[in-house]
Structure 1
Amino acid sequence: MIAVLLNVYLALLFVLVKLKVVPFNLFWKISPAIVLLALMLGLFIPMNWGAPQGPAIVVRNSVAIVPDISGEVVEVAAKANVPLKAGEVLFRIDPVPFESQVKAIEAQLKLAETRLAEMSQLQNRGTGRAFDVEERQANADQLKAQLEGAKWNLEKTTVRAPADGYVTNLALRKGARVANLPLAPAMAFIDTSETVVGVEINQIDARYIAPGQPVELTFKMTPGTVQTGRVESVLHAISTGQVQPSGLAVTPRAIQAAPLIVRVKLDDDAFARSLPAGSAGDAAIFTDRVAAAHVIRKVLLRQIAITNYVNPF
């Protein structure tokens, strides 16, 4: 863009000299250098913080599906990369052991309630002890609690989608055995209920970014198009500034000004949901500073959108 503006000035200067509107003296000979310096200092350098630009990427939350119970898989209902709604069945675990547990506790509870009723009658007639009634009552309450837990386990034999999304890299098959171990998830579930777009902005350019500011984005997978959005937040932490608990003293390391991450929400929700995780592109954020540079940044972003037809990087 700076080359375009400079070439326009040179063409205009050439015409004015030919028409003898301006003399071709020393001042006008060095004027292109003066104009170039003025454009750099007055427009293009301030544009970096008035309308900062940076790479953008679409990320989605991944949920490791770990069943609450252990058992043999009798059905895998989910298909790889097929959209699911929250609550739809992912897979089922053999319910027979858990059904038998429920039936056994129900039988014990029925007997305990019968014994409790008999003890209560004896106490009312004055031939039974209050202690026996209390003991039977405690036994019945304990069995009720066990029955509630057994029914919960039976319900958890059906594993459901925690949110809208899809299962990826599906390797689970009927007959496999799953366990309720955090380090052994049964499948990976990609949550599509919310699309997160992150934009990397150099620290020297991020000073005036604030929530609510307009954003324009172009993605590699949709060349020639420009999407709009708004700044949701500027993340106040990156890994280079994170301290983790350890038994060691402070370990010096090389410090570098890593980019800050700006979270953006697209205006077109349907388009946002259609973007695969990992979709990359470029984004420009328009702050309330250096408004004159906003038009130039819009032009530059559209140039990137057009070159995305042939530029894979």
Structure 2
Amino acid sequence: MQKFIGLGVALVTPFKEDFSVDVEALTKLVDFNIENGTNYLVIIGTTGESATISREEKELIIDVVVKTNNKRVPLVLGIGGNNTVEVVKELKSRDLSEIDGILSVAPYYSKPTQEGFYQHYKAIAEATEMSIILYNVPGRTARNMEPGTTLRLANDFKNVVAVKEAGNNQQQYYTLLKDKPKDFLIISGDDDLALGVTLAGGSGVISVIGQAFPGEFSKMIQFGLEGKNKEAYEIHYKMMDIINYIFEENNPAGIKAVLQELNICASTVRLPLVKATDNLHSKIANFVANF
């Protein structure tokens, strides 16, 4: 599973001012990341505003990223939700020939028990031979998938190869790292904890801020993988403020404000999200200008 080690980025979906998908900006974002050190790309995860993307738009976005990537880096596709039957149906019906892995978010809103999490992912694992990255993000799903459940899935299904853990819970990371099967990957989903997790034995990060600063963030993660603490933390400290800024109001409004300042895409988001406030955008602009 070397293809999912290092810096993965959860790509935003750029929109024009009329809220349509901005193909030109998406192409620019993909090229920018590949050319500056990103190791793999995640398409239409929750940072890509998957909740507001139509089926037709999803096809368009996948096509654009696949074509632009041109097999340069591995691709991970977001396929998840709280309707297990529909997730399985999409896995079985979608052409995944250009995709290297699936990122499947834990069921949201439904608040399943730990057994419910297990049965949901069991159905997904049995529906495909694709590599599956579990995605635990209790701040958004309202229920934590506990380490015992994650590790049970890792041990029971060979195609469950990793977890993107985004509970901002260091103790939970340590438990997973201590007890995981040898080849199972623990990937940080928390930009602020990514370096510490990597130094503790994690496999890197699926990052939001990384798509704006792929050169710096990929270098930091590589230093972490190599155990070069001093060099890694020098970059970490440079990035701390902007990581805090992008999550200050909502994601992905914050990162889109950064990308606007970098002239990569507009800051447009779809309702119910709104753009970063003027105050936040000012702080972001000042950071970018002085980075």
- Give the structure with the larger strand fraction: 1
TM range (shorter): under 0.3
Q: Pick 1 or 2: higher relative contact order, CA cutoff 8 A, min separation 6.
A: 1
Scaled by the length of structure 1, the TM-score of the pair is 0.18
> Based on CA coordinates, which of the two structures has the bigger radius of gyration?
1
- Give the structure with the larger helix fraction: 2
Scaled by the length of structure 2, the TM-score of the pair is 0.18
